[in-house]
Amino acid sequence: MERLIPLGLIISLFLFFPIATSLPASGRPRTYIINMDKSAMPAAFSSHHDWYTSTLSSLAVLSQAHLDQLHELSSHLATYPETFGHLYTTYTPTFLGLRKHYGLWPASGFGDDMIIGVLDTGIWPESESFNDEGFPPVPERWRGACETGTEFNLSYCNRKMTGARSFSKGMQQEKQNISKTNDYDSPRDFISHGSHTSSTAAGSSVVGAEYFGYAKGKAIGMAPKARIAMYKVLFFDESYDAAATDVLVGMDLAIEDGVDVMSLSLGFIETPFDENPIAIGAFAALKKGIFVSCSAGNNGPHAYTILNGAPWITTVGAGTIDREFAAHVTLGDGELTVIGKSVYPENLFVSNVPIYFLHGNRTKELCEIYSLDPEEVAGKYILSEAVGAIFSSDEAQFFRPTDFFKPFVLVNPKDGDLVKDYIINSKNATVSIRFLATLLGTKPAPQVADFSSRGPDRISPWILKPDILAPGVDILADWTPNRGFVPIGDHDYLLTDYAIVSGTSMSCPHAAGIATLLKSTHRDWSSAAIRSAMMTTADVIDNANGRIIDMITGVAGTPLDFGTGHINPNKAIDPGLVYDIEIQEYINYLCGLNYTSKQIRTTTGMRHFKCDSATLDLNYPSFIILLNNTKTISITFRRELTNVAEGSSVYRAVVRTPDSFRHESCSAT
């Protein structure tokens, strides 16, 4: 499938693009998020969509006069100016312990009869990951649609990919219109991100997937029998942007269509919940019992970088897996072989070529040849001229597949010294390098990815975020086949059907897929119960029997890095007890935040609500206290547990506090 195509753009999807809020000058119509009270929908309309469309002569685009009219309507809750959100950028079932004949996969029927709504950049319908071979008919309750547009029509949907819609009115109004060169004006995926996330959540099994020989094997999603519905809300515009209105309308439609779970690998800058379209859309989903999984963001490793921190959202950080890509470096006549990191996309075998040690100004020169930052590749460089390069670096873990556009290998400093000694002490040093090695079972794994956003949440620090860690580093999944991936030379890119990318964008659909399996197994569980089951059974110990480490510091991470730990699907089937949360309790939390009535109405979409109490203590599976130079503080947490196990069990409450803390009492009733 590999071919060279010219392409003028370098794309790194794992990057979190900076927020651009370009609000237009007053005068021309602006885009607004309109929050309507759905219970006020007149009976004459068959659906909320019809109602909105007829209420707003042009969906979501309003002049001031329209806006004034709208304010008069009794069903109107609040109106906000448009903002823009941004995109973050398979062997993981095995890493997560999912097995064909044991545990969550067979227990859930592989997610049979569940529908996952993915809000993303679209989908590549021809991909093998979305083939519907052996699928029973689409569940009758499904009300979604397959929208026609550029290179997309009804016949592209099937029993696997049951729906595909595209939402661009907000984006077209404020930023740019869609042209042939910047995106497809349809649910078709232009940039691959949505195909990658969809196939991670629920891709059908595809034998023989690979990335130029690396990570070869069967590609399969977390919930391989679940159906996928794509809601395209992200369009290409230099960076990738989503208009708040498009996201909100997309989420509303997904709810109406009847999805069971939503996956959003995108985020808006943290604002009060009533100004955040994902928080608002997720609350609407909550009311319908729909589980919402979101990326924690790629702005780590500093504190307070979490996005999507609303307590009714499951906020997912990214961890590494126990797989690495490598090259074998053999010195001289096989005297010594060291293994270094490489993801060079060619089955290259370099045999007995001369090798030189470079230092001083040659290093700088070499860095220029390879477009590398000398600071980044700290230390010394060893070159086999014209063939490739070996770098000694302790930063190999931070290099991504797209960094290996030339045949080079990164060896650790210890091996680097061995290579250097060999070169210095040999009259005619030679080296052989074999690329294309995939190592499994590497330790320690998982680790918290450097980029994964960290808690606490800036605007709601009373709830510990992120909730959980899921695989998000070097994940192989579906890629659009006409889109270049690895840059080769100055203007060419290699094409691939499957690509290895990193980001909390990748961890979010893992959690969404696992939530789908849990929902399919336990149909009566609420979204809070599903999240609780995932959180209380998560692992804090890695495969080297240590506490999960933070890739940046190399020392044990904390709940602000990984929440309650790394997701463990098979254990989540049977958590014994869950911390459940009623909708009224979330409202009480908003009351505890001192939100105005208007803010609460906007966030919840409920015109009539009451504050039973004002509390910042939700029945959440984790606890957090913020101490800001406070010497002593006394705080009470209340938790209520629900038995979801079969039969009765006896539990004993135990409290373990950090050293400088003392707990007064722990009473169980």
Candidate segments 170-178, 262-270, 486-494, 580-588, binder of ligand NAG by CB under 6 A? 170-178
Applying the rule CB under 6 A, the residues between 245 and 274 that interact with ligand NAG are: none
Applying the rule CB under 6 A, the residues between 598 and 637 that interact with ligand NAG are: 628
* Residue-wise DSSP of 192-245: SHHHHHHHHHHPPPEEEEEETTEEEEEE--SSTTSEEEEEE-EEEESEEEEEHH
> What does the block give as tokens for 60?
């979501």
| Residue 263 vs 430, nearer CB to ligand NAG | 430
Question: Quick check: is 193 catalytic?
Answer: yes
Per CB under 6 A, 176 contacts ligand NAG: yes
- H helices within 556-620, ranges in order? 559-562, 569-572, 583-592, 597-604
Contact pattern from residue 360 through residue 389 relative to ligand NAG, giving x for each residue in contact according to CB under 6 A and a dash for the rest: -x---x------------------------
| Residue 177 vs 584, nearer CB to ligand NAG | 177
Q: Which helix (H) or strand (E) holds 579?
A: strand 577-579
Candidate segments 69-77, 152-160, 464-472, 499-507, binder of ligand NAG by CB under 6 A? 152-160
Q: Strand, coil or helix: what is 586?
A: helix
List the one residue out of 188, 167, 183, 278 whose CA is nearest residue 238: 183
Applying the rule CB under 6 A, the residues between 535 and 594 that interact with ligand NAG are: 593-594
List the one residue out of 480, 501, 342 whose CA is nearest residue 7: 480
Return the residue of 430, 447, 453, 622 that touches ligand NAG, per CB under 6 A.
Answer: 430
Is the separation of the CB atoms in 616 and 459 below 8 Å?
no
List the one residue out of 664, 258, 281, 313 whose CA is nearest residue 511: 313
Candidate segments 174-182, 238-246, 378-386, 602-610, binder of ligand NAG by CB under 6 A? 174-182
| Residue 321 vs 419, nearer CB to ligand NAG | 419
Q: Shortest Cβ distance from residue 27 to ligand NAG (Å)?
A: 13
Q: Shortest Cβ distance from residue 354 to ligand NAG (Å)?
A: 6
Q: Shortest Cβ distance from residue 377 to ligand NAG (Å)?
A: 17
**Distance of alpha carbon 36 from the chain centroid:** 29
Taking the C-alpha atoms of residue 91 and residue 221, their distance in angstroms, rounded to an integer, is 9
| Residue 450 vs 585, nearer CB to ligand NAG | 585
Binding residues for ligand NAG, total number by CB under 6 A: 16
List the one residue out of 114, 217, 14, 77 whose CA is nearest residue 530: 114
Q: Shortest Cβ distance from residue 353 to ligand NAG (Å)?
A: 7
Angle between helix 277-287 and 244-257 (nearest 10): 10
Return the residue of 9, 20, 154, 369 that touches ligand NAG, per CB under 6 A.
Answer: 154
Number of helical (H) and strand (E) elements in the chain, helices listed first = 16, 31
| Residue 43 vs 626, nearer CB to ligand NAG | 626
Is the separation of the CB atoms in 509 and 225 below 8 Å?
no
Q: Shortest Cβ distance from residue 303 to ligand NAG (Å)?
A: 10
* Residue-wise DSSP of 36-81: E-GGG--TT-SSHHHHHHHHSSSTTEE-HHHHHHHHHSTTEEEEEE
List the one residue out of 464, 469, 490 whose CA is nearest residue 616: 464
Candidate segments 169-177, 440-448, 543-551, 597-605, binder of ligand NAG by CB under 6 A? 169-177
Return the residue of 21, 22, 177, 597 that touches ligand NAG, per CB under 6 A.
Answer: 177
* Catalytic residue chosen out of the listed positions 86, 168, 185, 193: 193
| Residue 457 vs 580, nearer CB to ligand NAG | 457
Residue with token string 């860095």:
367
| Residue 153 vs 239, nearer CB to ligand NAG | 153
Q: Shortest Cβ distance from residue 145 to ligand NAG (Å)?
A: 13
- Strand locations in 414-533, DSSP E? 430-440, 468-471, 475-478, 484-488, 492-495, 498-501
Candidate segments 149-157, 206-214, 319-327, 380-388, binder of ligand NAG by CB under 6 A? 149-157
CB atoms near residue 627 (< 10 Å): 11
Applying the rule CB under 6 A, the residues between 336 and 365 that interact with ligand NAG are: 352, 361, 365
| Residue 21 vs 352, nearer CB to ligand NAG | 352
| Residue 369 vs 378, nearer CB to ligand NAG | 369
CB atoms near residue 217 (< 10 Å): 16
Question: Quick check: is 522 catalytic?
Answer: no
Question: Quick check: is 120 catalytic?
Answer: yes
Is the separation of the CB atoms in 583 and 616 below 8 Å?
no
Return the residue of 63, 172, 363, 642 that touches ligand NAG, per CB under 6 A.
Answer: 172
| Residue 139 vs 461, nearer CB to ligand NAG | 461
* Catalytic residue chosen out of the listed positions 120, 467, 474, 542: 120
Per CB under 6 A, 181 contacts ligand NAG: no
Q: Shortest Cβ distance from residue 594 to ligand NAG (Å)?
A: 4
Candidate segments 175-183, 189-197, 320-328, 596-604, binder of ligand NAG by CB under 6 A? 175-183
Candidate segments 128-136, 173-181, 184-192, 246-254, binder of ligand NAG by CB under 6 A? 173-181
Q: Going by DSSP bridges, is the β-strand pair 314-319/468-471 parallel, antiparallel, or unpaired?
A: parallel
Q: Shortest Cβ distance from residue 540 to ligand NAG (Å)?
A: 26
Q: Shortest Cβ distance from residue 445 to ligand NAG (Å)?
A: 33
354 φ, ψ (degrees, to nearest 5): -60, 150
3-state per-residue secondary structure call for 474-508: CEEEECCCCCEEEEECCCEEEECCEEEECCHHHHH
Is the separation of the CB atoms in 348 and 330 below 8 Å?
no
| Residue 155 vs 636, nearer CB to ligand NAG | 155
Candidate segments 167-175, 185-193, 240-248, 599-607, binder of ligand NAG by CB under 6 A? 167-175
Candidate segments 42-50, 162-170, 171-179, 187-195, binder of ligand NAG by CB under 6 A? 171-179
| Residue 90 vs 276, nearer CB to ligand NAG | 276
Q: Strand, coil or helix: what is 297?
A: coil
Cβ-in-10-Å burial (0-12, 13-18, 19+) of 565 comes to: buried
Per CB under 6 A, 648 contacts ligand NAG: no
Return the residue of 428, 545, 648, 669 that touches ligand NAG, per CB under 6 A.
Answer: 428
Is the separation of the CB atoms in 282 and 313 below 8 Å?
yes
Return the residue of 30, 86, 175, 522 that touches ligand NAG, per CB under 6 A.
Answer: 175
* Catalytic residue chosen out of the listed positions 199, 452, 460, 505: 505
- In the chain, % helix, strand, coil (3-state, to 5) comes to 25, 25, 50
- Return the active site residues: 120, 193, 505
Which chain residues interact with ligand NAG by CB under 6 A?
A: 153-155, 172-173, 175-177, 352, 361, 365, 428, 430, 593-594, 628
